[in-house]
Structure 1
Amino acid sequence: MPLRVKLTLWYGSVLALILILLGTTLYAVLARELKDQVDQSLEEAATTAIRSLEQHGFGPFIQFDDLSSHFPELAVLDKFFQIFSPTGRITIQSPNVKSHDVPLSQTALETAFRGHATYESARFPGETLRLISVPIMYQGNLLNIVQVGTSLKPLEEALHRLLVVLLVSLPVALLASLAGGWFLAGRALRPVHAITEAAQKIAAGDLAQRLTVESTGDEIGRLAATFNDMIARLDASFRQVRQFSSDASHELRTPLTVMKGETELVLRRDRDCEDYKSVLESNLEEIDRMTRIVDELLFLSRADMGEVKMASAPVRLEELIEDIHGQASLLGQEQDVKVSLGSLDPATVLGDELRLRELLLNIVDNAVKYSKPGGLVEIALRTDQGMARLSVRDQGIGIRQEALGRIFDRFYRTEEARTHTNKGTGLGLAICAWIAEMHRGRIEVESAPGAGSTFTIVLPLAGSKA
């Protein structure tokens, strides 16, 4: 069933229930209110009659005309009066009661002896009468019973007209509301149709398509914006996967090409043992490089799937830096690069010491690798506002501004980096960024071509809420 039909049916069902409840409540409340008004009017009329009798006395020769001359409210056209003796016999009767024979009921007589008034309804051919029987007591004895009655025919006719109006107007209102609901549901779902058509085109493989639904700020607008964001992320992910596959293929093909070429060359004719040994050593270097690439790819793959576990223990960064400084100094000697220590503020973070060591060693290794001979690499540590800021500054080849946003992408290496050295896989900084992120930190980079780079690892101190 189409959503438009479902919405209209649900809307119509709820509205029908509301209209029925509203109509029923209106009818019941109005009927009760009108009946209460009739009862109140009868009570007031009975009170007037009793007051008249009490003031003029009651005797067997008093006529209704004598009472009504002093109290004209007793001659109201829509009411009739009767006065009964304690035996239930009529003693005074208003003229307009002649059309009905309204005797005093046994229930009203018994209730009158107990000193209480009785409300009753008596049905006669063509109409219903509403009666009130009020006792007149004197020193605990029943003297008379005043009965006042009126016809309920006007009330019943008014309620009948109301019922007809409700029975006619409620279905008309329901049909009009259903038509309006159908129209409004169609208007509300029109953007959904647009989303569906666009999604079908996107499903065909065109991830460049976007929804053009107006940004109204409502649920449909937010759905369209969320859908566009999702498609944009999918597009970026697919592009990254394609680029990753291309880069991985390139990085693995290069050492394989070198190995294949050198092996074919040395096998073309008989050579000395030294030539074979040289080729095998070269092949071993390329195998080591491919092994490193595969290991790093495996690590990143496991990290993406959440299979790499991180320890959480206090790590003193100043001690870690001093330990790594010794290893970095040995690396610097091979490149004629000096590695020095700057100011080291005491700083303790919660994390995995092995991963933090790998992170810092990768950054320092890159700083040494891309430095010029005779250059300087400085490692410093300071604390600021609950954060540890571990910086590694070099005087190397630097990085272009347009490349700074991509240096943490997998397999990405700038042309200057490839020219400067053929070492590296392009995965080290991606691993560093992941380790920093897992420690609720980040890596900041400042660089300029030819002026060197400064990599700053920002980590929250132990006990901070960063």
Structure 2
Amino acid sequence: MARLVPSSLRTRLALTFGIGTSLVLLVALSLLYVALDRQLDAAVDADLTGRADDLLAGILARDPGAVRGDPMAQLYAADGTPVASATALGGRVLLPPDQVRAVGPEPVRIVLLLTVRPGETPERVRLLARPVGRDGEILAVGQPLSTVEGAGDRQLIVLAVATPVLIAALCVLGWLLVRAALRPVDRLTREAAAISTLDSDRRLPAVAGDDEIARLAATLDGMLARLAVAFARERAFVDDAGHELRTPIAIMRGEIDLALQAVDDPEEVRRSLSAAQRQAARLGRLAEDMLLLARERAGALGVLRAPVDLTDLAHAEARALGPVTDLTIEVHGDPVITDADADRMRQVLANLAANSAAAGARTARVTVGTDGTDVRIEWADDGSGFPPDLLDRAFERFVRGDPARTAPTGAGLGLSIVRAVVTAHDGTAELRNGPPLGGAVVTVRLPAT
């Protein structure tokens, strides 16, 4: 069955159009034939009624030649005996006595098979029989149907010849219309097939108008633009990641080479191996950060939600992070309990502390509270703040501030990880400069339990 259905959309549309229009045309022509046939029948009935009225007026006026001068008429007595007959009938009787007696007060229309002319084959005749209104007499007026039926047959022949021609013309017209309508789709298909990942700036041809195909072309073109931006970001990520990985790897190789050259000097070997160990730890952190961001991009960054007192967690992290980052961390706020991943929230606070320390801050303040239906964690420091040109993109990967004002050890992934973790909690993160300590301010909002 599937093989009988054409694979081409153009063919399917043209075939559907042809079948649909053919059915509509056949129904319309059939209705036209029926309507014309009824009009012909109505014309015969109108002619019979008019002739009967004229003959009735003549009969009531005692005109004996009224019936004899009609092409096909007879006047019957109440018992069915012909009283007057049209000369053209040549003595033939239109209605037998039993049918004459069956005529009531209302006119009767019947069709009989009669021999109109001597020697000819019988033909169908329509008769109108009606009472005259005196002594029970009945008037019958007839009309042969050969002319009407011949006109109907000719009409049927004309329709039988014209219908296939009209159907063929409509099918060709439908094919042309479908081909013209789908021509832009063919152009878009060929152009889209020719675009590769290397053609990041290539776009689809514009389609004139404001119909569905034009909107589809505009939508696909916008999608290509978004994909180009995404590809550019991914390429930048790979380039930045390669740059960040190259530096510690080069340092590790250099330190290992120094250790191999100084095997007779244990102190030099220890210093070289310690430096290599620090770079290995830096590589490990960088790999973990990149893996976390990759999971977040794929929507696979999982969080294990459980009731957490964010204020208590902030106090604990302040005690742990202060000595490591050389920051004085103050925590303010009443206990606030919500469903969150405690380990991920510790990672958020650790990255914010590292960011503040890298900016030269000496004091940081953590304020925990509720903000309507959200839980708010505000991290503020007294450092140099975010450079104005970085405020709009500080959450992007591998974005770092001025090296003269920040430590060169970071990879620029801390705030990206903060936003990734907060987003995984269905929250938001914002940043600004200013009060309460005059430096950077990062505000995290999480849904309240």
Q: Sort the TM-score into its range (normalised by shorter chain).
A: 0.7 to 0.9
1:397 maps to which of 380, 384, 408: 384
Q: Secondary structure at the match of 2:230?
A: helix
Distance in 2 between the 1:73 and 1:323 partners?
122
- What residue is the counterpart of 1:56 in the other structure? none
Alignment partner for residue 354 of structure 1, among 322, 328, 342?
342
The equivalent position to 1:93 in structure 2, one of 71, 85, 96, is 85
Q: Distance in 2 between matches of 1:216 and 1:362?
A: 55
Are positions 1:200 and 2:190 aligned together?
no
Indicate if the aligned counterparts of 1:127 and 1:151 stay in contact, CA closer than 8 A.
yes
| Aligned equivalents of 2:23, 2:324: Cα separation in 1 | 87
The one-letter code matched in structure 2 to 1:331 is L
**Structure 1 residue 214 and structure 2 residue 207: aligned?**
yes
Q: How far, CA to CA, are the matches of 2:132 and 2:238 in structure 1?
A: 108
Q: What corresponds to 1:24 in structure 2? A: 30
Distance 1:363 1:190 in 2: 56
Q: Distance in 2 between matches of 1:96 and 1:346?
A: 120
Instruction: State which of 2, 14, 17 in structure 1 corresponds to 2:20.
Output: 14
Runs (5+) with no aligned partner, structure 1: 53-63
**Is 1:431 matched with 2:417?**
yes
Q: Is residue 329 of structure 2 the alignment partner of residue 374 of structure 1?
A: no
**How far is 1:129 from its partner?**
1.8
Corresponding residue to 2:317 among 314, 327, 345: 327
| Segment of structure 1 superposing worse, 39-48 or 422-431 | 39-48
Distance 1:330 1:381 in 2: 21
Task: Name the SS for the 2:394 alignment partner.
Answer: coil
2:406 corresponding residue in structure 1 = 420
Q: Secondary structure at the match of 1:192?
A: helix
Q: State the 1:433 CA deviation.
A: 2.3
Aligned mates of 1:177, 1:254 — CA distance in 2: 73
2:385 partner letter: G
Q: Which residue of 1 aligns with 2:94?
A: 102
Which residue identity does 1:205 align to in structure 2?
Answer: L
User: Contact conserved, 2:399 with 2:413, CA < 8 A, in 1?
Assistant: no
| Secondary structure, aligned partner of 1:379 | strand
User: Cα deviations across residues 137-187 of structure 1 (Å, max 9, x unaligned)?
Assistant: 99xxx9666544323345435534544554465455445544543443343
Asked whether 1:457 is paired with 2:444, we answer yes
Q: Distance in 1 between matches of 2:205 and 2:86?
A: 83
- Spell out the pairing of 1:51-450 with structure 2 (5 A cutoff): 66-67=59-60, 69=62, 80-83=73-76, 86=79, 89-95=81-87, 97-98=89-90, 102-104=94-96, 108=99, 117=108, 119-122=110-113, 125=121, 128-133=124-129, 146-160=139-153, 162-163=155-156, 166-167=159-160, 169-171=162-164, 173-203=166-196, 205-214=198-207, 216-311=209-304, 315=307, 319-342=309-332, 344=333, 349=338, 351-354=339-342, 357-358=345-346, 360-384=348-372, 386-410=373-397, 412-416=398-402, 420-447=406-433
Change (3 A) 1:392 1:12: same
Contact 1:120 1:130 in 2 (8 A): yes
Q: 1:304 to 1:224 in 2, by over 3 A?
A: same
Aligned-pair distance for 1:6? Answer: 4.5
Structure 2 gap ranges (5+): 1-5, 116-120
Q: What is the distance in 2 between the residues matched to 1:427 and 1:273? A: 36
SS at match of 2:195: helix
RMSD, aligned CA: 4.3
- Secondary structure of the residue that 1:416 maps to in structure 2? coil
AA aligned opposite 1:397: S
Contact conserved, 2:114 with 2:124, CA < 8 A, in 1? yes
Kept after mapping to 2: 8 A contact 1:367/1:393? no
One-letter amino acid matched to 1:459: L
Shift of 1:15: 1.7
AA in 2 matched with 1:442 = T
Q: CA deviation at 1:202?
A: 0.8
Cα displacement string for residues 318-358 of structure 1 (whole angstroms, at most 9, x for unaligned residues): x313422331244234444332235x477665x43336524
Judge which range, 333-342 or 206-215, deviates more: 333-342
What is the aligned residue count? 436
Partners of 2:112 and 2:415 in 1: CA distance = 96
Structure 1 residues 320 and 274 mapped into 2: Cα distance closer, same or farther (>3 Å)? same
1:457 aligned counterpart, secondary structure = strand
CA gap of 1:398–1:99, structure 2 versus 1, over 3 A, is farther
Q: 1:312 to 1:373 in 2, by over 3 A?
A: closer
- Letter aligned with residue 12 of structure 1: G
Same amino acid, percent of matched pairs = 27
Question: Given the superposition, is the C-alpha separation of residues 120 and 27 from structure 1 closer, same or farther in structure 2, using an over 3 Å criterion?
Answer: same
Q: Could you tell me how far apart the structure 1 residues matched to 2:69 and 2:173 are?
A: 51
Query: Using a 3 Å threshold, how does the CA distance of structure 1 residues 225 and 163 change in structure 2: closer, same or farther?
Result: same
User: How far apart are the structure 1 equivalents of 2:388 and 2:146?
Assistant: 95
> Cα distance 1:321–1:48, how it changes in 2: closer, same or farther (>3 A)?
farther
Secondary structure of 2:21's match? helix
Q: 8-17 or 96-105: which moved more?
A: 96-105
Contact 2:433/2:441 (8 A) holds in 1? yes
Q: TM-score, normalised by structure 1?
A: 0.75
Q: How far did residue 72 of structure 1 move?
A: 11
Q: Would you say the 8 A contact 2:73–2:86 is kept in 1?
A: yes
AA paired with 1:426?
A: G
Sort the Cα spacing of 1:363 and 1:35 in 2 relative to 1 into closer, same or farther, 3 A: farther
8 A Cα contact 2:314 2:366, kept in partner: no
